[in-house]
């Protein structure tokens, strides 16, 4: 393992969590999008990570999966997307779940910043010796 591998690991974690934060933000921004280009409500996206293989340690975004849970239906006969019975299919985005994921991703991002800072400080101390 090289001298800067720890920083590489922390940097990959920062990049992955930043990507996760972007996806969560998109989910929250589309919480009321009842019609996309595909003609159906917005489908929640989930980020999956995987450990890097080979010489370069760290983590990468493996995939962005779509949440397959069914769309909730609400009664809103005045909505242009309502069916003949007056029900509208809403996105399968739950604001509480997204906010919980947002806090988790934010804390993970902060942990990677702390790890990178500690590694930087250890390298600085080693140079002083």
The domain spans of the chain are 5-128
Above pLDDT 70, what percent of the chain? 98
CA distances from 83 to 12, 34, 75, 77, 115 (A): 46, 12, 10, 8, 52
CA distance 43 to 82: 18
Question: Is residue 91 within 8 Å of 43, Cβ to Cβ?
Answer: yes
What's the pLDDT tens digit per position in 44-79?
Answer: 999 999 998 877 788 999 999 999 999 999 999 999
What are the tokens at 127?
């140079």
Question: Is residue 88 within 8 Å of 74, Cβ to Cβ?
Answer: yes
- Read off the pTM: 0.87
């Amino acid at each position: 393992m090289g001298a800067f591998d720890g920083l590489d690991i922390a940097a990959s974690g920062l990049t992955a969590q930043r990507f996760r934060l972007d996806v969560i933000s998109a989910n929250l921004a589309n919480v009321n999008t009842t019609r996309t280009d595909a003609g159906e409500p917005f489908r929640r996206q989930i980020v999956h990570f995987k450990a890097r293989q080979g010489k370069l340690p760290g983590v990468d975004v493996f995939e962005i999966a779509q949440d397959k849970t069914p769309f909730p239906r609400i009664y809103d006969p005045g909505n242009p997307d309502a069916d003949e019975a007056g029900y509208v299919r809403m996105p399968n985005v739950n604001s509480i779940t997204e906010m919980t994921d947002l806090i988790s991703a934010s804390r993970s991002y902060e942990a990677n910043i702390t790890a990178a800072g500690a590694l930087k400080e250890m390298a600085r101390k080693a140079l002083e010796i």
